[in-house]
């Protein structure tokens, strides 16, 4: 007889042998999702026998994870600051570190979200800061996914989606209170070191930012001052160490303001203010 506990143990062992990080947690999340339970409910039902029809649902999910397909794609969504965000291969999976941008943002009424991807940042800003957001992406696939997420949260009246390479198709008669950007910042030379889930699960367009990872970020910083109100911030997610490169450079109409660390104590965000 196969019980929840026996299948959890077998799944954990199978995923560990496949090199999956956090195999135990992933096993719990997969089983909870496949059985329509909350994760904590598994611990209250260890001895519950599983039916063959339930096992038939679980087997392909576990097989996909063993092939290093991202867990979030298998589950179909991820929680971002408590907001459910649908995710798949069309856009970068929202990460926990990125959530901190909303804390840095504080109160801003009119925001541009550059490289919106799933729309997670735009949705969080609209819900938590009551902001009007213009969200853009160069990927039409990503914009379709963002549109689905915006509809899921009923924010069509708060978020405007625009197909744009950075700011170039954004309205030029608007001055924003803040610009948010989680742009590609991984150097091309770091590709081989990425986990299979990242390298094969996320669009490369959303990952790699040229030789030192800062190609698109520099492009944005050199073109965004005309879209900002005086002293308005540009809040950028970066990799630790890249802030030193950016601080050593000059960008039209901007001045360096500060950096912020992530949950692990690593510099993750750098902020420039408009001095126009």
- For 232, the 3-state DSSP assignment is coil
The per-residue pLDDT for 107 is 78
Domain boundary among the residues 15, 39, 67 is at 67
Average pLDDT in the 92-108 region? 92
Of the candidates 131, 74, 67, the residue with the CA atom closest to the CA atom of residue 105: 131
Of the candidates 80, 116, 123, 270, the residue with the CA atom closest to the CA atom of residue 206: 116
Of the candidates 108, 124, 25, the residue with the CA atom closest to the CA atom of residue 65: 25
Check: CB of residue 220 under 8 Å from CB of residue 238. no
* Domain identity same for 59 and 83: no
Could you tell me the two tokens for 194?
């990425």
The per-residue pLDDT for 71 is 97
The per-residue pLDDT for 119 is 98
The per-residue pLDDT for 213 is 92
Judge whether 27 lies within some domain: yes
The per-residue pLDDT for 120 is 98
Average pLDDT in the 195-216 region? 89
* Parent domain of 85: 77-274
Q: What is the CA 191 to chain-centroid distance, rounded?
A: 18
* Domain identity same for 59 and 88: no
Domain count, the chain: 2
0.85 surpassed by pTM: yes
CA distance 81 to 72: 15
* Domain identity same for 140 and 249: yes
Of the candidates 180, 183, 184, 141, the residue with the CA atom closest to the CA atom of residue 159: 180
Share of residues in the chain with pLDDT > 90 (%): 87
Q: SS3 sequence, 60-123?
A: HHHHHHHCCCCHHHHHCEEEECCEEEECCCCCCCCCHHHHHHHHHHCCCCEEEEECCCCCHHHH
Of the candidates 33, 94, 96, the residue with the CA atom closest to the CA atom of residue 61: 33
Does the pLDDT value for residue 276 go beyond 80? no
**Residue 32 bridge partners (DSSP):** none
Check: CB of residue 208 under 8 Å from CB of residue 230. no
The per-residue pLDDT for 1 is 79
Average pLDDT in the 88-115 region? 94
* Domain identity same for 208 and 112: yes
Judge whether 206 lies within some domain: yes
Judge whether 169 lies within some domain: yes
* Domain identity same for 150 and 51: no
Residue position matching structure tokens 């924003």: 176
* Domain identity same for 25 and 85: no
Does the pLDDT value for residue 202 go beyond 90? no
Domain boundary among the residues 67, 88, 112 is at 67
CA distance 170 to 79: 28
* Domain identity same for 156 and 240: yes
User: Residue 22 belongs to a domain with what CATH number?
Assistant: 1.10.8
Domain boundary among the residues 47, 67, 87 is at 67
Could you tell me the two tokens for 34?
């496949």
- Angle (nearest 5°) at CA 94 between 91 and 100: 140
Average pLDDT in the 160-170 region? 96
Judge whether 102 lies within some domain: yes
* Domain identity same for 13 and 98: no
* Domain identity same for 150 and 219: yes
* Domain identity same for 159 and 180: yes
Looking at every residue in the chain, the average pLDDT score rounds to: 95
* Domain identity same for 235 and 98: yes
Judge whether 72 lies within some domain: no
Residue position matching structure tokens 């978020």: 159
CA distance 232 to 83: 26
The per-residue pLDDT for 25 is 97
User: C-alpha distances in angstroms, 169 versus 20, 162, 228?
Assistant: 41, 7, 15
CA distance 250 to 129: 31
Residue position matching structure tokens 């339970």: 37
pLDDT tens, 208-259?
Answer: 898 899 999 999 999 999 999 999 999 999 999 999 999 999 999 999 999 9
Does the pLDDT value for residue 174 go beyond 80? yes
pLDDT tens, 55-83?
Answer: 999 999 999 999 999 999 999 999 999 99
Pairing of strands 159-163, 132-137: parallel
Average pLDDT in the 109-125 region? 97
Could you tell me the two tokens for 212?
């030192």
User: Residue 169 belongs to a domain with what CATH number?
Assistant: 3.40.50.150
* Domain identity same for 13 and 120: no
DSSP states of 119-142 = SHHHHHHHHHS--EEEEEES-HHH
Question: Which DSSP helix (H) or strand (E) runs through 274?
Answer: strand 267-274
Average pLDDT in the 125-133 region? 96
């Amino acid at each position: 007889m196969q019980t929840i506990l026996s299948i959890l143990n077998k799944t954990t062992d199978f995923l560990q042998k496949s090199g999956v990080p956090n195999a135990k947690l992933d096993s719990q999340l997969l089983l909870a999702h496949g059985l329509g339970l909350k994760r904590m409910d598994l611990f209250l039902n260890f001895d519950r026998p599983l039916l063959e029809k339930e096992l038939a649902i679980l087997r392909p999910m576990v097989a996909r994870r063993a092939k290093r397909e991202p867990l979030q794609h298998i589950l179909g969504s991820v929680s971002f600051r408590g907001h459910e965000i649908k995710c798949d291969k069309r856009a970068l999976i929202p990460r926990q570190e990125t959530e901190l941008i909303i804390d840095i943002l504080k109160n801003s009424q009119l925001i541009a979200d550059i490289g919106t991807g799933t729309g997670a940042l735009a949705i969080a800003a609209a819900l938590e800061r009551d902001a009007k957001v213009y969200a853009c992406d160069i990927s039409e696939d990503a914009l379709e996914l963002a549109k689905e997420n915006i509809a899921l949260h009923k924010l069509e009246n708060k978020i405007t989606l625009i197909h744009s390479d950075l700011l170039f198709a954004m309205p030029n008669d608007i001055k924003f209170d803040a610009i948010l950007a989680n742009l590609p910042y991984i150097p091309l030379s770091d590709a081989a070191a990425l986990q299979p889930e990242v390298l094969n699960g996320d669009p490369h367009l959303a990952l790699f930012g040229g030789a030192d990872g800062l190609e698109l970020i520099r492009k944005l910083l050199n073109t965004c001052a005309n879209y900002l109100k005086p002293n308005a911030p540009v809040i950028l997610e970066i990799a630790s160490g890249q802030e030193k490169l950016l601080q050593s450079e000059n960008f039209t109409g901007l001045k360096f303001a500060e950096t912020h660390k992530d949950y692990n104590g690593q510099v993750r965000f750098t902020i420039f203010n408009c001095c126009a």
